[in-house]
Structure 1
Amino acid sequence: MDDYDVAVVGGGPIGCFVAERLASKGMHIAVFEEHQNIGEPVHCAGIVTQRVFAITNCPSETSEKIVQNTISGAVIHSPTGTNLVIGGDKTHGLVIKRQLFDEHLAEKAKKAGARLSLQTKVISAKKRHNHVESTIQHNRHHMTFCCKLLIGADGAHSQIRDTFRFPKPQETLQGIGAELSDTALDPQFVHIFVGHKIAPGFFAWIIPTNLKGTSARIGLCIGKHSNHTLQYYFTTLLQQPLLHGTTIIRRFGGTIPVGPLKKTVADHIMLVGDAAAQVKPTSGGGLYPGLLCAAHCSTIADEAFQIGHFNEKFLQRYHIRWTKDLGRELSLGMRFRNIFSKFSDAQFNKYLEKLNTKKTIDVINTYGDIDYPSRLILPLIKAMPSLLSLTPSMLKHTIK
């Protein structure tokens, strides 16, 4: 039986970032990843900001290899086909090679001293008096290990979350996507499609993935009350004129948990990333919020080892810290999502038409932030007071 200080379940970027930070403190760290390769399968649309590289201390020479393209604006397509064009003034997002980014963080974790086991699945875990005892399966062989702290970074369908009966995310979105070649896009603009005929309850996207606009990553998510299958809506997306004559290189899919958990720690247990639904409800982006929460997770885990306290009361400091940083943002995002998901196509058309003025577009360009979309709410309402009829409850929470 192997013993570890900390066992991290999930070898994605969130889990590896936690592992690297703790291993660098001299702890005995194990990371268990059920898939064969780091970064596979890819589920991510792959747009981030520079904050992702800053928080992970990614060297510029490495980030330059990871970044495929820069995005300065977006074209939002209404159900009637009219467009709202925003941005174009500066870099608002970076398109990344997600697998390369994941591999970079995994390599950093290994160099720091973490043990990374691929094709290894945790099949059971039980709390004992002062530790957690878990059984893993690797190549059909079962092994048991003990750890003082078990960190669940095992994604949207977290086994650790379910095993220890944490609350579930408020909602789980279903997504589908593909990598395309032979596109003819403006490389600096993403395209967003809203409406019940293409992505009910969420939106669809086209993201140029190179500087020439000749390749793209496309996808969509749908809410729980959709009338058709994911494949039906994906076919509708592929029929967009922008995608005529393109070639599908690879397909992918996945789920996105939204609505953060009210509880993310228990005795000897912590949850982080998608396992804790630390995901932006408005966009489905989980990389930056997950990494930010992972930093708090590793800090509190380190403090727990310094004093030898692994009970829920002490580990609750992690929950308090990450909710202080992101709780309001995610809560507001969920409120907006609940409004947005109930929009009719007529409402989408109405509000996109209202937003299509120089004054409001200037506000969006000035205050819009991929990582903190709520920062746009108050400036936008000041520029467009009629939004108050849509968001009175949100405004109350925004100004608190």
Structure 2
Amino acid sequence: MLLWMGILGMAVPNFDVLIVGAGPAGSSAAKAAALKGVEVALVEEHPRVGEPEHCAGLIHERDLKNLGGYPERLVEARVREVKLVVGSRAELWLKQDFTVLDRRGFDEFLALEAVKAGAKLYTGWRAEGMEANGGGLREPVKVKVKDVSGGGGDSYVASKMVVGADGFKCGVGRWFGIKPEMELATCIQSWVKPNPLSSSRVMEVYLGREYAPGGYAWIVPSSNDTAKIGLGVRGVREPAIAYWRRLLERWKGLEVERVIGHCVPLSGPLERTYGDGFLLAGDAAGQVVPSSGAGIATSITCGGIAGEVAAEYVMGNLDEEEGLSRYERLWRARLGGKFQACLEIRRLLESVEPGEVEAIRDAFGHIGTLDFSPTKLLGPAVKLLVKRRSLIRLLPLLFKARRHGFF
């Protein structure tokens, strides 16, 4: 059980930094700001951090190592091979190292780390709007919060700085006049048993209009006997749940334990993720890998940067000319190239016609990894162009994937 703190009935509490949303971005921002010594409030609308779960909990091993330590108990499975099914005629096997996390437990772990650093966590409270301060720079704003846990009542929190980590709806950004233009994928995920995969070290990804138009489908091991099956779609006429039902028909005798739905932004980061008195991080800023919808690692990284910059801002330590733009400069220097490359990768993959799939399989099916050197790329690339000259447009994809990954 994580720390719960009530607001109702209190005099308007004042904080240096208010963070809305206790997902990976928000908790990371809260921890980073608290470690700087400022007063931090982390507000989460759900009664329990991590609920409902919003993704498969899949993270590349290299990203997980870069993020630091985590309890081993949060690992559900370790994937070492990916079976990529393209259309109805081609399969590629890729040697890639992923970790499947207990996403609910992982979010709780991150929030508890923020609390240990000194942040105050308020669960069951939804931030609904703000009142302008009418004052000068770094003057507190009043944010209205509503008790959604059943206790009833509204209250206010005052803060000099607000970090919006409240998901794709970008509520905080809208308070401050941001009009987010995001291309969203509608996602459905289910937990099923028994696990239909051949091994808990294998995951499967399905590309093609017949599976998930405008997106892809996945089956990820959750344990030896359970799995997560889901998909994300864009630009479709049918509800996403209809595609999910058809996907499940590929496996017989599955028991569906639960199903969730959510949306993921796939158009890359917002043009602007800061303004007077606010920063945006995670899904709220569009900081999601466009080619895969992955967002855990990028949210933690950008959230950490947001927390540090927010703290420096309220302490008056930022260069007056640069100000809060420092946040955008730092995260773009760290991840801007990856976001742009993966957006181009996604668009290139979406341009592949069914008749071109087999040529790709024949050229690259034997390599077994996406992390290969230019010398290994040369032979398959020539073979690919001999068979299908139209695929010359995909060559930049291979080099971008090698440099930035696609997940």
* Fold shared, TM-score > 0.5 on shorter chain: yes
Deviation for aligned residue 1:349: 4.3
Superposed, 1:251-266 pairs within 5 Å as 251-258=259-266, 259-266=268-275
Tell me the distance in 2 between the aligned counterparts of 1:377 and 1:282. 22
Query: What amino acid is the match of 2:211?
Result: I
Name the structure 2 match of 1:109. Answer: 114
2:183 matched to 1:171? yes
2:126 matched to 1:121? yes
Superposed, 1:345-384 pairs within 5 Å as 345-356=354-365, 358=366, 361-362=367-368, 364-367=369-372, 380=377, 383-384=380-381
CA-to-aligned-CA distance 1:229-251 (integer Å, 9 cap, x gap): 212210121011xx221211111
Identity of aligned residues (%): 26
Tell me the distance in 2 between the aligned counterparts of 1:230 and 1:182. 23
- Pick closer, same or farther for the CA change 1:141–1:348 going to 2, 3 Å: farther
TM-score, normalised with respect to structure 2: 0.85
**Matched position secondary structure for 1:5:** strand
Name the structure 1 match of 2:40. Answer: 29
Deviation for aligned residue 1:393: 7.1
- Pick closer, same or farther for the CA change 1:203–1:16 going to 2, 3 Å: same
Residue of structure 2 aligned with 1:75, choices 75, 80, 83:
83
Superposed, 1:1-400 pairs within 5 Å as 1-59=12-70, 62=71, 64-87=72-95, 92-128=97-133, 129=135, 130-138=139-147, 139-185=151-197, 186-210=199-223, 212=224, 214-224=225-235, 226-240=236-250, 243-258=251-266, 259-307=268-316, 313-356=322-365, 358=366, 361-362=367-368, 364-367=369-372, 380=377, 383-385=380-382, 386=385, 389-391=392-394
Q: What count of residue pairs does the alignment treat as equivalent?
A: 376
- Pick closer, same or farther for the CA change 1:383–1:166 going to 2, 3 Å: farther
- Pick closer, same or farther for the CA change 1:146–1:309 going to 2, 3 Å: farther
The answer to which structure has the higher helix fraction is 1
Query: What amino acid is the match of 1:384?
Result: A
Query: What amino acid is the match of 2:207?
Result: V
Tell me the distance in 2 between the aligned counterparts of 1:378 and 1:157. 44
Deviation for aligned residue 1:263: 0.4
Tell me the distance in 2 between the aligned counterparts of 1:312 and 1:98. 40
Tell me the distance in 1 between the aligned counterparts of 2:399 and 2:102. 39
Deviation for aligned residue 1:160: 0.8
Tell me the distance in 2 between the aligned counterparts of 1:231 and 1:395. 33
**Matched position secondary structure for 2:287:** coil
Verify the 8 A CA contact 1:75 1:191 in the aligned structure 2: yes
**Matched position secondary structure for 2:315:** helix
CA-to-aligned-CA distance 1:298-322 (integer Å, 9 cap, x gap): 2222322332559894111110111
Tell me the distance in 1 between the aligned counterparts of 2:165 and 2:374. 31
Tell me the distance in 2 between the aligned counterparts of 1:261 and 1:379. 36
**Matched position secondary structure for 1:8:** strand
Task: Name stretches of at least 5 consecutive residues in structure 1 with no aligned partner.
Answer: 368-375
CA-based RMSD: 2.6
Task: Name stretches of at least 5 consecutive residues in structure 2 with no aligned partner.
Answer: 1-11
Tell me the distance in 2 between the aligned counterparts of 1:201 and 1:249. 27
Which sits farther off after the overlay, 325-334 or 42-51? 42-51
Deviation for aligned residue 1:153: 0.5
Tell me the distance in 2 between the aligned counterparts of 1:308 and 1:133. 23
